């Protein structure tokens, strides 16, 4: 089980109740083990961060980035966040919100392939 800052529980709950359109589009296809039989969690606290989606079996984090993530200051914060998550053995996949909304099938295909690859690396046959 990954440690998290308990002060983030309320914020994570609030974010789960107020998903963006692009997060909602993906969540409807990730929830209930629809993708490869893998459990995903949304707005999951990990360390001092809240990630958009998390699949513990695949040690995979999925982030849906709005336009603010393309600004230099936010990109630097994202880099530090990704490095921290990587230090926990997690892989981070990032998609921009437009991609998630308009190219949902393609995004899901990338996620599916990554999940399968990660699980086979973590639990070789």
pLDDT for the residue 93? 97
Question: pTM (2 decimals)?
Answer: 0.91
At 91, list the tokens: 């892989």
CATH number at residue 40: 3.40.960.10
Which residue is associated with the tokens 């936010």? Answer: 74
**Is 48 contained in some domain?**
yes
Q: Residue 56 in contact with residue 47, Cβ under 8 Å?
A: no
pLDDT band at 102 (very low <50, low <70, confident <90, very high): very high
**Is 32 contained in some domain?**
yes
**Is 101 contained in some domain?**
yes
**Is 1 contained in some domain?**
no
The CA distance from 33 to 48, in Å, is: 26
**Is 94 contained in some domain?**
yes
**Is 10 contained in some domain?**
yes
Provide the domain limits for residue 64. Answer: 6-122
At 94, list the tokens: 């990032």
Alpha-helix runs per DSSP H in the chain: 9-17, 21-30, 72-87, 97-102, 104-122
Cα 85 to Cα 2, 17, 48, 80, 107, distances in angstroms:
10, 24, 10, 9, 21
Percent residues over pLDDT 70 in the chain:
94
**Is 98 contained in some domain?**
yes
Q: How many domains, the chain? A: 1
pLDDT band at 52 (very low <50, low <70, confident <90, very high): very high
Q: What is the pLDDT of residues 17-43, one digit of tens each?
A: 999 999 999 999 999 999 999 999 999
Summary count for the chain: helices (H), strands (E): 5, 4
**Is 82 contained in some domain?**
yes
Q: What is the pLDDT of residues 109-119, one digit of tens each?
A: 999 999 999 99
How far the first Cα of the chain sits from its last, in Å, is 23
């Amino acid at each position: 089980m990954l440690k998290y800052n308990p002060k983030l529980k309320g914020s994570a709950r609030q974010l789960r109740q107020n998903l963006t359109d692009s997060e909602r589009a993906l969540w409807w296809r990730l929830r209930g083990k629809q993708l490869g039989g893998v459990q995903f969690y949304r707005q999951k606290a990990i360390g001092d961060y809240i990630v958009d989606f998390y699949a513990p079996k695949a040690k995979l984090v999925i982030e849906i980035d709005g336009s603010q993530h393309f600004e230099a200051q936010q990109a630097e914060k994202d880099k530090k966040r990704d490095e921290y998550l990587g230090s926990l053995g997690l892989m981070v996949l990032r998609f921009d919100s437009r991609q998630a909304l308009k190219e949902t099938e393609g995004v899901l295909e990338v996620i599916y392939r990554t999940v399968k690859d990660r699980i086979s690396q973590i639990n070789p046959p």
